[in-house]
Amino acid sequence: MTDACVSLIDSKCLKEFLRLVLETGNFMNSGRYAGNAIGFKVNSLNKLVDTRSNKPRMTLLHFLVQEGQKDNKNLLSFATDLLDGLKAASRLVLDGLSSELSHLSGSIKQLSKQLENSSDELKEQFEKFLQKSAKDVTELETGLDKIRELGQKLAVHFCENEQSFKVEECLATFKTFCERVKQCEEENTQRALQEIKAEKRRKEREAMDAKKKKNGKKIILPQEEETCIIDKLLTDIKKGFSLRKTTPRTPQRMLSSPKFTVPPAVLADAVC
């Protein structure tokens, strides 16, 4: 727990990321009562995932992780560096440790008092045990006092109320926060890869659609080629091309109106 407290206070990357959180919060709350703040509560860190964007599965914490990595690629290293120590320390309860230590110290004193009226042989057998136990208890009490002192430093460091501040709650909050930062970092990486794949598929579809459109484009014959077809038809008729019994289609230039049909005789005179 002592190491975890010291790591939280000394982590430069954590300080830089918390500064980014504060600046982003002030920007979002600009013009409101919560804007232009000089700090925020530690327990509000785990509420960053509750603020969602219009982008699917994107929260404010995802955005902060993304923006933080743009300026400093190693900014999120604090999550990995602190997490192991925080996991171990967050399982401990300071009040529980203090109670157990007091009970242990009382038991040792009681045993020592009982040995005062015992035989010298029994005293000799327990003498080394009592000395070592008393030394261990003293070291534990010193460590507990150091934890309390570090707790006060943490409260001042994070601008928390020193009277209501609890070290174990602070450590548990930062443990969850570090876990979520790492999770957001992984999800951002996966999302970036998915967006790259989606963009690649989009470009492939556009290229395929363009290719299909190009291959399936209708070829429009110029006017000169249409005239050549009519001349060829007249040439075939002069050579003895047999006409169908149904009324043949007449060239557009010989019709005065679409509702008229030119008789075969007129067509023969035109050919001659």
Beta bridge partner(s), residue 59: 52
Which pLDDT score, from 0 to 100, does residue 272 have? Answer: 34
**What is the per-residue burial (b if ≥16 Cβ within 10 Å, else e) of 27-61?**
eeeeeeeeeeeeebebeebbebeeeeeeeeebbbb
Which pLDDT score, from 0 to 100, does residue 108 have? Answer: 82
Q: Does 254 have pLDDT greater than 60?
A: no
pTM of the model: 0.66
Q: Of 95, 103, 101, 102, give the one whose Cα is nearest residue 168.
A: 95
Q: Does 204 have pLDDT greater than 60?
A: yes
Q: Which of 25-39, 193-207, 254-268 has the highest mean pLDDT?
A: 193-207
Q: Does 220 have pLDDT greater than 70?
A: no
Encode pLDDT of 111-165 as tens digits: 888 777 777 777 777 788 888 888 888 888 888 888 888 888 998 988 888 888 8
Which pLDDT score, from 0 to 100, does residue 122 have? Answer: 76
Which pLDDT score, from 0 to 100, does residue 21 have? Answer: 92
Distance between CA atoms of residues 166 and 154, nearest Å: 10
Cβ-Cβ contacts under 8 Å for 53 (sequence gap 6 or more): 59, 60, 62, 63
Burial bucket for residue 147 (CB in 10 Å: 0-12, 13-18, 19+): buried
